[in-house]
Amino acid sequence: MLTEERHQFIRDRLAADGKVLAGELASRFGVSEDTVRRDLRELAKAGQLRRVYGGAVPAAPFAAATIGQRSSHAVEEKHRLAKAAVRVLTSGQALFIDGGSTNEAIARAIPRDIELTVATNSLGVASALADLPLVELIVLGGRYIRDLGTCVGGDTLAAVAQLGADLFFLGSCGLDASRGVTAFDSAEAEVKRAMAKNSAGIVIAATNDKLATAAPYRVAAADTIRHLVVERTAPAAILADFQRQGAEIRFA
Amino acid sequence: MLTEERHQFIRDRLAADGKVLAGELASRFGVSEDTVRRDLRELAKAGQLRRVYGGAVPAAPFAAATIGQRSSHAVEEKHRLAKAAVRVLTSGQALFIDGGSTNEAIARAIPRDIELTVATNSLGVASALADLPLVELIVLGGRYIRDLGTCVGGDTLAAVAQLGADLFFLGSCGLDASRGVTAFDSAEAEVKRAMAKNSAGIVIAATNDKLATAAPYRVAAADTIRHLVVERTAPAAILADFQRQGAEIRFA
DNA sequence: GCAAAACATGCAATAACATGCACAAAGAAA
DNA sequence: TTTCTTTGTGCATGTTATTGCATGTTTTGC
């Protein structure tokens, strides 16, 4: 087990549970508690957590999570979702993919032997697709927003308006059966709306923590979702609401 | 087993598993661990992974966007050129940066504490700038050309036309005192011309093998070059030709 | 205040690492 | 062809990083 893996696991657990215990980590990693304490000390020195007696807690619980930090969160789940999500793809399709760590995971999971045309405003998605030989990649430029990892603004909207797609992989922020898909940022929501408008169907892959939540800006109604990819542990009651509105549920 | 095959395998495994172990790779390839470590060292130098004790993990989130093969060539020289090139920057400037491995090296060499507005059509440059907090980044979208690592086409030209810059970091292809700056690709040349037109000055960083060569498509006349950054071993006669036409020579 | 748990520090063993060198294979030049 | 150069590889050498243990200190709960 690499030191880096332990550090990554600790970061993930901190983001997920809000705390880690030194003894618990030691037995899970199969190393001595001294080693875990050394790990915690290093991460604390790098400002990635705050040490407390018995373990550690997140450094800045209320700091806005940038895309880099978010993508380290729940890596396993997102990878599983991504593998399930790419199964809706068929060769020759045209896609919109917007930002978000889940969408980046999906982009990385796209197999090399499928032919696609993809338009994206996310640098991470574009980077992941940059070396897929059969993917025609269209970068939707504009003002780059560091916290989102995507381009937004008038230029982006204009570029989207010129395109059409079969599917739109919508990086959801909030997902609620009555309020539909919602976003935290106004400019981001504008781009998502434009992509949704010019797409024949919407695909959303969502971890459980996104379900039954809502953000300020409305993006799309729930009945516009064609495929909803969720974890196996997703609450059945919530899924039924989406299913009634026409969404096809796919489990990771 | 070819070196390149090992490198490709390592890249694939990193993308799939998120880590590689030196010992494991050695036994799989049937080579010594020293050879594997050499491989890892090279790939790390080219920015394609990050070395950790025991193996390696994926580099930055956007590592895939950088031009893999070309940028592994003459890394030292380009890094030196890049460090010299960024010395022309002053806080508050607006820049165009187009594609090419030298320009990617320059983007990576930009210090974190300088405030800039940068518009680029290169995914690699954009990725390098994505986490510089004081850089306002404008991505020039369009059709992505895999071989160039940049976006080209009408959309790109339209986006460039709306902007203006103090300096244009031109990734040179051919550089000749009489024929000026030239490019191998028509669409690429169009974008370069548009950027040159909307910039107050042109900066070119060129390795020796670019000097006194020319490509089919004309981009800019030699007398439009304001700063020319070259290696210390560059032929003085060639440099004198550019100097006569107004270029300020800077040695790496 | 006291005992137990958690912690920091120094130390030694081990594994991973970098470096220099020799050798072999592949290619270029004579 | 022969010779030379280049490149890749493995091995020997010394160096560095990581780890667990022993020791002494600090914190916590009672």
Q: What is the CATH number of the domain that holds B137?
A: 3.40.50.1360
Q: Are strands B225-230 and B248-251 parallel, antiparallel or unpaired?
A: parallel
- Whether the pLDDT of residue A71 is over 60: the answer is no
B134 and B102 in one domain? yes
- Judging contacts by C-beta atoms under 8 Å, the chain B residues touching residue A71 are 61
CA distance B202 to chain A (A): 23
A44 and A152 in one domain? no
- The alpha helices in A130-234, defined as continuous H runs, are 154-161, 186-197
User: Do the Cβ atoms of A49 and A61 come closer than 8 Å?
Assistant: no
A245 and A173 in one domain? yes
Range among A14-23, A69-78, A212-221 with highest mean pLDDT value: A212-221
CB B28 under 7 Å to nucleic chain D = no
Q: Between A and B, how many residue pairs show a Cβ–Cβ distance under 8 A?
A: 104
A92 and A59 in one domain? no
The mean per-residue pLDDT over the stretch B26-34 comes to 93
Give the integer Cα–Cα distance in Å for A43 and A180. 39
Please say which residue of B59, B82, B102 terminates a domain. B59
Residue type (1 letter), B213: T
User: What's chain B's average pLDDT?
Assistant: 89
Give the integer Cα–Cα distance in Å for B239 and B221. 15
A90 and A51 in one domain? no
Give the count of domains, chain A. Answer: 2
Give the integer Cα–Cα distance in Å for A230 and A250. 6
- Whether the pLDDT of residue A65 is over 70: the answer is no
B108 and B24 in one domain? no
Task: Provide the CA A37 to C1' C2 distance, Å, integer.
Answer: 26
* Banded model confidence at residue A75, pLDDT cuts 50, 70, 90: low
Answer whether B52 sits within 8 Å of A146, measured CB to CB: no
B135 and B78 in one domain? yes
Rounded to a whole number, what is the largest CA-CA distance in chain B? 59
**How does DSSP classify residue A139?**
E
Give the integer Cα–Cα distance in Å for B177 and B130. 35
Give the integer Cα–Cα distance in Å for B239 and A159. 42
The mean per-residue pLDDT over the stretch A52-77 comes to 65
A128 and A73 in one domain? yes
CATH assignment of the domain containing A29: 1.10.10.10
* Banded model confidence at residue B60, pLDDT cuts 50, 70, 90: low
The mean per-residue pLDDT over the stretch A82-90 comes to 94
At A63 the pLDDT is 42
B19 and B116 in one domain? no
B80 and B173 in one domain? yes
Give the integer Cα–Cα distance in Å for B78 and A252. 45
How many Cα atoms occupy the beta-carbon half-sphere of A89 within 13 Å? Answer: 27
Q: Which domain holds residue B24?
A: 3-59
Closest listed residue to residue B33, CA positions, set B42, B43, B41, B23? B23
Please say which residue of A45, A63, A81 terminates a domain. A63
In this predicted model, what pLDDT tens digit does every residue of B110-154 receive, in sequence order? Answer: 998 899 999 999 999 999 899 788 999 999 999 999 888 999 999
In this predicted model, what pLDDT tens digit does every residue of A173-213 receive, in sequence order? Answer: 899 999 999 999 999 999 999 999 999 999 999 999 899 99
In this predicted model, what pLDDT tens digit does every residue of B186-207 receive, in sequence order? Answer: 999 999 999 999 999 999 999 8
Give the integer Cα–Cα distance in Å for A11 and B182. 49
User: What's chain A's average pLDDT?
Assistant: 90
Determine which of A54-58, A64-68, A119-123 has the lowest per-residue pLDDT on average: A64-68
At B76 the pLDDT is 67
A133 and A15 in one domain? no
At B75 the pLDDT is 64
How many Cα atoms occupy the beta-carbon half-sphere of A33 within 13 Å? Answer: 7
* Banded model confidence at residue A72, pLDDT cuts 50, 70, 90: low
Give the contacts of B121 (CB within 8 A, at least 6 positions apart). A141, B98, B99, B139, B140, B141, B142, B150, B151, B152, B156, B160, B191
At B227 the pLDDT is 96
B32 and B137 in one domain? no
Answer whether A123 sits within 8 Å of B62, measured CB to CB: yes
Determine which of A60-69, A117-126, A185-194 has the lowest per-residue pLDDT on average: A60-69
Two tokens, residue A118: 């993809």
Answer whether A71 sits within 8 Å of B55, measured CB to CB: no
Sequence length of chain B is 252
